[in-house]
Amino acid sequence: MKGEPLMNISQKVIWGLLASALLIPGQAVPIELGLSSGGAASTPVGEPKPSVPLETGDPVRTLRPVWTAAVDFDAEDPESSFGAQTSEGLIYSVSQGRIRAVEASNGRLRWTSAHKTICNPAIGSGMLSYMDEAGRIVRLEASTGNILSIIKADGLPPAGRVRLSIAAGQVYAADAEHFRVYAGRTGRLVWKIPARPDTSYPKLQGVHNGVAIVSVETSGAILATRYEGYDVASGRRVWELIGSHGDLLAVRKGHFYARSLLPGTERYDGSAVIDQVDIRSGKLLSSLEYRSAAISTPAIAGQILIGNDRLYAIVSGLSGPGQPTGQGAIGRFELGQPETPVPLLEYGNGRSPVRLDLIGSQAYAAQANGNVYLIDLRSSRTLGVVETSSSTFGPVLSAGGMTLIQAEGKLIAVERPEMNGYVSQN
């Protein structure tokens, strides 16, 4: 319950078991959230499974914020708002239109940008770039905020929408009409290409093996997001991937993985199709269907993550299209092996995780009730819970010994439990 310093032991056992399931290959611990105080774990709907015994011990510790900051961030509209980013122990966020760099360990302000930004800043290669209200790309030294150069980028983009990225020392700028690449050190234009009539708003997904992987929104009878590959040196398009895909999930051994999202082919069996594509040629190598075995249909797969050669999926039950039941599961697969799903967690009573993040050996599970649980995968222990008033969240970040939670309009920094010697007991 919000406002109370400690969580009930039942929740501690639940999330500790989730950590155990994440850690040990082949182990599945199906359980249900939403227990009343002192309640017992119930057996999930479906094939009978033994109930999870509750143990005695210390409750999960509530982790208190070390510092907080107001930010211009809306998790429901990340393209039009400004998500925080980390680099070299600093946190970069946007507040009232200006970029602020603060020290992650204590929240102390390092510098503030002289101009307001109209886009998410891009960070990389020791520099930060953003577009100001005059349509200029401003390049700063990331650690000090000192201006390195100002690039005149042919004026303000249409509707003021632009995407900036930094990769391999170059600045990529995309808007509705052009895709430009600038040399990081000098600001010199390396190449630019106009948007084709049927595409808009290119988005750099990454630069790998000399290829810039770009997704573009296509118009026409069917709206889709198409992937294209461009030679980094010349800007020549070297391949085009047929179909529609979500954001790039992972890069492994010269291949990238992305979720297939063909319009009109929505899946209500809880499955997700993940395509494996060769970076150099754009050739589709495999298209595999991952479906959690823990939940009955109809159901729909939501967030997909790939980490440490494993795929994780949040699956939610439906009573009809767009009508969630509040039941669901988190499933785990070995990447490339969709036939062996492991149900990590089953939930009910509307306590579905709205976001799951993996950073190193820790998992972060956020619920719509505002609680974010921190789980150590190496020790199989729940390290704590952060209580917020938010129902939507952005990516969890880690820097300077802090865990940083992006909530609605607020950045919350809590000390990582292992940094102060605290480890919860299971």
Q: pLDDT value at position 104?
A: 96
Determine the Cα angle at 231 with ends 230 and 235, to 5°.
75
Q: Rounded CA gap, 9 and 99, in Å?
A: 41
**Please, which residues bridge with residue 399 across strands?**
402
For the segment 150-167, the average pLDDT, to the nearest whole number, is: 73
**C-alpha span between 266 and 235 (Å, rounded):** 34
User: Among 27-36, 168-177, 362-371, which stretch is predicted with the lowest mean pLDDT?
Assistant: 27-36
Domain count, the chain: 1
Q: Which residue has the higher pLDDT, 366 or 349?
A: 366
CA distance 38 to 83: 38
Segments forming the whole domain that contains residue 413: 296-417
Query: With bands split at pLDDT 50, 70 and 90, how would you rate the model's confidence at 425?
Result: very low
Nearest CA to 274 among 208, 335, 345, 205?
335
The predicted pLDDT at position 32 comes to 31
pLDDT (0 to 100) of residue 276: 98
| CATH of residue 391 | 2.130.10.10
Give me the count of residues in the chain.
426
Instruction: Assess if residue 243 is contained within a domain.
Output: no
Q: Tell me whether residue 341 is in a domain.
A: yes
Rg (CA), the chain: 22
Read off the pLDDT band of 395 (50, 70, 90): very high
Which of the pair, 40 or 250, is modelled with greater confidence? 250
For position 155, what pLDDT does the model report? 55
pLDDT in tens, 271-287: 999 999 999 999 999 99
Q: Is the pLDDT of residue 6 over 80?
A: no
Identify the pLDDT of residue 317.
79
Q: Is the pLDDT of residue 45 over 60?
A: no
% residues pLDDT > 70 (the chain): 77
Q: Is residue 373 part of a domain?
A: yes
What value does the mean pLDDT of the chain take?
Answer: 79
Average pLDDT over residues 319-336: 80
Residue 107 lies inside a defined structural domain of this protein: no
Average pLDDT of the segment spanning 8-28:
37
pLDDT of 10 reads 36
pLDDT tens for 288-310 read: 999 876 667 788 888 899 988 88
* % of residues, the chain, pLDDT over 90: 42
Q: What is the pLDDT of residue 200?
A: 79
Distance, CA of 109 to CA of 91 (rounded, Å): 10
Distance CA 114, CA 212 (A): 31
Q: Is residue 302, in this structure, part of any structural domain at all?
A: yes
> Is 320 inside a domain boundary?
yes
Determine the Cα–Cα distance for residues 31 and 12; give it in Å rounded to an integer. 12
Average pLDDT over residues 370-388: 81
Residues 65-94 pLDDT 10s = 999 999 998 877 766 678 899 999 999 999
389 in a structural domain? yes
316 beta partners: 300, 328
Decide if 144 is inside a domain: no
